[in-house]
Amino acid sequence: MTEKHIKLGLFGFGCVGQGLYDVLNHSEGLKADIEKICVKDKNKKRKIASKYFTYDKEDILGNNKLDVIVELIDNSADAYEIVSRALSKGVNVVTANKKMLAENFESLYQLQEKNNVALIYEGSAGGSIPIVRNLEEYYDNELLSSIRGLLNGSCNYILTRMELENMDYGKALKMAQESGFAESDPWLDVAGYDTLYKLILLTVHAFGIILKPEQVLALGIQNITFDDITYAKEKGLRIKLIATAHKVGDKFRVYAMPHFVNKESDLYNVLYENNGVEVEGAYSCKQTFVGKGAGSHPTGSAVLSDISALTYQYKYGYKKLKKMEAYHKGKVDSAKFLDNDFEIKVYIRFSHKDDLKGIEVVSIEEEFKSAKTNYIVANVKFKSLFFLKGNRDSKLFVCAV
Ligand code: HSE
């Protein structure tokens, strides 16, 4: 097969954009040139010559000589406009924008189908772990029962620093930001949204269902304190922000929230900004993928791999999605396959009993009260936790047991 020499138009030159630039420059095999980079800030000092930059998106979107558009900007709405325009023109796109993808998945899928064009996004979930393509290709005929993992490098970094180094939450978050792991708005990381977006993408490729962010529960680590870390340590456990999608009967339970994990779990020793994903199938049994989940070069390398894949005309087949459509004879209403109606055992730390209002407690297994902290371990109705999603007023810390 002759390798095609490709011309790239790049949107964004932040952490991942610069990572891609470095990785591309050191790549020996891939024949790809960045023709133009569209950025917003005219006054920012940049490490490469100004001739590469433009401030007008039409310089890229209107350039018919480009083979691939690489979208690595921050703003989800702007990114959607760029990506959908490129796909409508029949130009292949690589993106790492999990928020944009999760918020617009159905329409981006339709655009790819209609225009017979590729949109690929390995860098959007799991950093350097090749999880999307593995779910799509390797497990294409496997009856997967569960995917479960740590998908946010920043949260794992904060939790690790707090637990192993007694570092204060604020300082650990600041270090995650300085290291280029966190989103520009770190609330997306700590409140569980970034994990949620990535989980939605993996659920498409693992199970063939397209969920919307508002349908899926996400709770974060924003209220964690050393009381919670100590509670876990005393029991030989670690706290991890885990995304899970698993099959129960013919439905799926899909959510992201802190979990206690024990030493037997493959995820226990996944530390700092590393991510880990366990994939479980009927025949393959359980396999765990671990690697750098955030950062300029690991994510840049995933983007590079996508660009390289386009040189051999790769595109996602959406095999599981198509199987679902074939089986149900048309577009699938994924909400019908989502099960939010079950009980879950959780640890909840709180200040006042009133803070628990809204949570439907079925039974309490453990209760602790002191002048400093209170907690319960209880079975609760999963659905009743939704009011905590993105709730900036609540100070509860909730962790699955
Ligand atoms: N903010 C993300 C994280 C970046 O911390 O995992 C990588 O997607």
List, for residues 184-243, the tens digit of each pLDDT value: 999 999 999 999 999 999 999 999 999 999 999 999 999 999 999 999 999 999 999 999
What would the two tokens of residue 389 be?
A: 């999603």
Asked if 97 and 14 touch (Cβ cutoff 8 Å), the reply is no
Residue nearest to atom 7 of ligand 1 (CA): 294
Pick from 331, 326, 305: nearest CA to 109 = 331
156 lies in some domain: no
Of residues 125 and 332, more confidence is placed in 125
Three-class DSSP category at 272: coil
Report H helices in 166-225: 169-178, 187-190, 193-207
What pLDDT is attached to residue 71?
Answer: 98
The domain of 25 spans 6-132+297-327
What pLDDT is attached to residue 2?
Answer: 53
Q: What's the gap in Å between 316 CA and the centre of ligand 1?
A: 23
275 lies in some domain: no
Q: Which residues line ligand 1 (CB under 6 A)?
A: 127, 152-154, 181-183, 189, 194, 293-294, 299
Q: Which atom, in ligand 1's list, is nearest to the CA of 183?
A: 1
* CATH code of 15's domain: 3.40.50.720
372 and 302 part of one domain: no
Q: Which atom, in ligand 1's list, is nearest to the CA of 123?
A: 8
246 lies in some domain: no
pLDDT at 158 over 60: yes
Asked if 400 and 259 touch (Cβ cutoff 8 Å), the reply is yes
pLDDT band at 4 (very low <50, low <70, confident <90, very high): low
pLDDT at 59 over 70: yes
Asked if 380 and 339 touch (Cβ cutoff 8 Å), the reply is no
15 and 95 part of one domain: yes
Strands 238-248 and 251-261: antiparallel
pLDDT at 3 over 60: no
Q: Which atom, in ligand 1's list, is nearest to the CA of 98?
A: 8
Evaluated on CA atoms 74, 79, 80, 83, the torsion sign reads: negative
If you count them, how many residues does the chain have?
A: 401
pLDDT at 147 over 90: yes
DSSP 122-180: GGGSSTTS-HHHIIIIITTTS-EEEEEEE--HHHHHHHHHHHHH---HHHHHHHHHHTT
Across residues 138-155, what is the average pLDDT?
Answer: 96
* CATH code of 348's domain: 3.30.70.240
Q: What's the gap in Å between 70 CA and the centre of ligand 1?
A: 18
385 lies in some domain: yes
pTM: 0.97
What pLDDT is attached to residue 210?
Answer: 98
Angle at 133 between CA 128 and CA 139, to 5 degrees: 125
Q: Which atom, in ligand 1's list, is nearest to the CA of 154?
A: 5
Q: Give counts: helices (H), strands (E), the chain.
A: 13, 16
Best substitution site from 152, 196, 292 to test ligand 1's pocket, by max atoms within 8 Å of Cβ?
152
pLDDT at 69 over 60: yes
Task: Supply the mean pLDDT for the chain.
Answer: 96
pLDDT at 342 over 60: yes
Q: What's the gap in Å between 78 CA and the centre of ligand 1?
A: 19
Burial label, 30 (beta-carbon count in 10 A; 0-12, 13-18, 19+):
middle
Asked if 324 and 211 touch (Cβ cutoff 8 Å), the reply is no
Total structural domains within the chain: 2
Residue percentage of the chain with pLDDT more than 90:
96
Across residues 366-378, what is the average pLDDT?
Answer: 95
pLDDT band at 179 (very low <50, low <70, confident <90, very high): very high
39 lies in some domain: yes
Strands 217-218 and 238-248: unpaired
113 and 38 part of one domain: yes
Pick from 191, 194, 177: nearest CA to 97 = 194
Report H helices in 208-295: 226-234
141 lies in some domain: no
305 lies in some domain: yes
Q: What's the gap in Å between 235 CA and the centre of ligand 1?
A: 29
122 lies in some domain: yes
125 and 36 part of one domain: yes
301 and 359 part of one domain: no
124 and 99 part of one domain: yes
